[in-house]
A and B are shown apart, each in its own frame.
Chain A
């Protein structure tokens, strides 16, 4: 079974600085996709960024980028120029191709607090 690990209990960052949120994964699937979602205090889940296991380049979406290191099985989210509105919980997730792995599996999440 695939597994997502997010071990940082909580992160703090100063406004306008960059922050990296860690995510490691484990899977035996040859192909897979990695996702990051944001959950602000209002509770909704917001899709941020996607990385495919065979993508040649790291994904970027505005201030979000994904530091994908396939050999290390890590898919860290980098948020540049943090804003107060970035304070939220962030979930890493993955989807494989085989059987139950084809459903999106989430990590436990990381809380990010941006200080003014």
Chain B
């Protein structure tokens, strides 16, 4: 079972470069999310997509854009990378388009990004 697949696993960028993190899920989930994880900060929500065709900002959206390409895929783009965006990025998905309190997120394995 693939679950949530993220690519790449590791990436090093220079300041000002752009790149796109790819995420795909094969569980027919409606909702998808991008989080970043920084030491001592836990996971913080960057953007999410409640359903195909919709995207919304999370807690820390500045410097990022997202695209919900179809139901399976949700990409995160850094247009002009900055050292402050050095982090581990996680994509996640969940089943609902409606709110279920007990709905758990399924996570990808993460992308370790360094911006020099």
Interface residue ranges, A against B (CB under 8 Å): 4, 6, 31-33, 35, 42-45, 47, 50, 52-53, 91, 93, 95, 97, 102-109
Interface residue ranges, B against A (CB under 8 Å): 33, 35, 40-45, 48, 58, 88, 90, 92, 99, 101-107, 109-110
Chain A residue numbers with a CB within 8 Å of B90 are 45
| A107→B42 contact, CB < 8 A | yes
Given A43-B88, A50-B102, A97-B101, also A108-B109 (CB < 8 A): no
Q: How far is the CA of A95 from the CA of B43 in the complex (A)?
A: 14
| Sample of 29 A–B contacts (CB below 8 Å) | A4-B42, A6-B42, A31-B101, A33-B101, A33-B102, A35-B104, A42-B109, A43-B110, A44-B110, A45-B43, A45-B90, A47-B105, A93-B43, A95-B101, A95-B103, A97-B99, A102-B99, A103-B33, A103-B45, A103-B48, A104-B33, A104-B105, A106-B35, A106-B42, A106-B43, A106-B44, A107-B42, A108-B40, A109-B42
B116 to chain A, nearest CB (A): 21
Q: How far is the CA of A109 from the CA of B88 in the complex (A)?
A: 15
By beta carbon, the residue of chain B nearest A48 is B104
Q: How far is the CA of A102 from the CA of B48 in the complex (A)?
A: 12
Q: How far is the CA of A64 from the CA of B102 in the complex (A)?
A: 17
B111 to chain A, nearest CB (A): 10
| B102→A45 contact, CB < 8 A | no
